[in-house]
Amino acid sequence: MKQNILVESESVVSFEVKADSDNLEQFLKREYDVSSRLIKKMVRERSIFLNGEKVRRNVSVKKGDTVSLLMDDEDDNNLPEPEIELDIIYEDIDLVVLNKRPFTVVHTTQGHPIGTIANGLAYYFLENKIKKKIRFINRLDRDTSGVLLVGKNSFAHQQISKQFKDNTVEKTYLTVVDGVVGEDKATIDLPIERESEDSIMRIVREDGKRAVTHYEVVERYKDATLLKVRLETGRTHQIRVHLKHIGHPIIGDSLYFKESPDIDRQALHSYAMKLRLPRDKSEIELRAELPYDILNLIEKLKKA
């Protein structure tokens, strides 16, 4: 196979070797953080190329070589639905990034086989001839809006998932909480654990996992505050639990506070994520503007 056949796309990612290396596997791990699992998969499928030729993972590589990974076409099992609206805020050959709207389920499940973002993306992939499975990188529950990352291939998914695991993705949220927060900015460093073994609720507990939340005041109202929150860790319900613990639960949070007549979900929005792109490692910040219901809540609070 000639090298020029391996054109960069959703299915092909290529790396230039900048210095002599021991072997191909060590080069991919050390220089590009490609996981052993993905390398083994590529080797098993004979999908690793050196200067356009299929090779094994222990082959030597030298400065000026080109290493390419070829990811086979895949079938996605989600039913394509053209009527699902997608608010795409960024796209390249590795990623689709959405501003997820509230009240939308992300994954198909037995209870939600249709009407999900996965169904909408299945149609989008089909229309744009992206022959890959839909790989959600981060998770947002039904009632949380904001930045939602989707990988177009296994390489992108592995690369950015590792950034999440290593806590190198800078995650910023906007939320409206009950009461007037006194400090302009502060950090909550308190462990979180399940309330009980069979409960979905989390609480601050000494035997829990470390959780760190930084917040700063954006705007104060008569009986509420708009906060910008940055997560240093990513525990389940972390923002909701920490803010409740300091006496400022999120407005509309029926699980950790109470329902609100002004918004019918928790006023929590994944506003921005700063991460490194999978191929060239350049830093990018992805932002999703506030949805209508939180903007409407803020307007009501300003008039109160």
Residues with catalytic roles:
141
HSE-CB of 81 using CA atoms within 13 angstroms:
15
User: 101: which 2 tokens?
Assistant: 């709207």
Beta carbons of 176 and 267 less than 8 angstroms apart: yes
What are the φ and ψ backbone dihedral angles of 129, each rounded to 5 degrees? 55, 40
Q: Between the CA of residue 300 and those of 101, 263, 303, what are the distances in Å?
A: 21, 10, 5
What is the chain's length? 304
User: 244: which 2 tokens?
Assistant: 């409740």
Question: How far apart, in whole angstroms, are the C-alpha atoms of residue 200 and residue 213?
Answer: 20
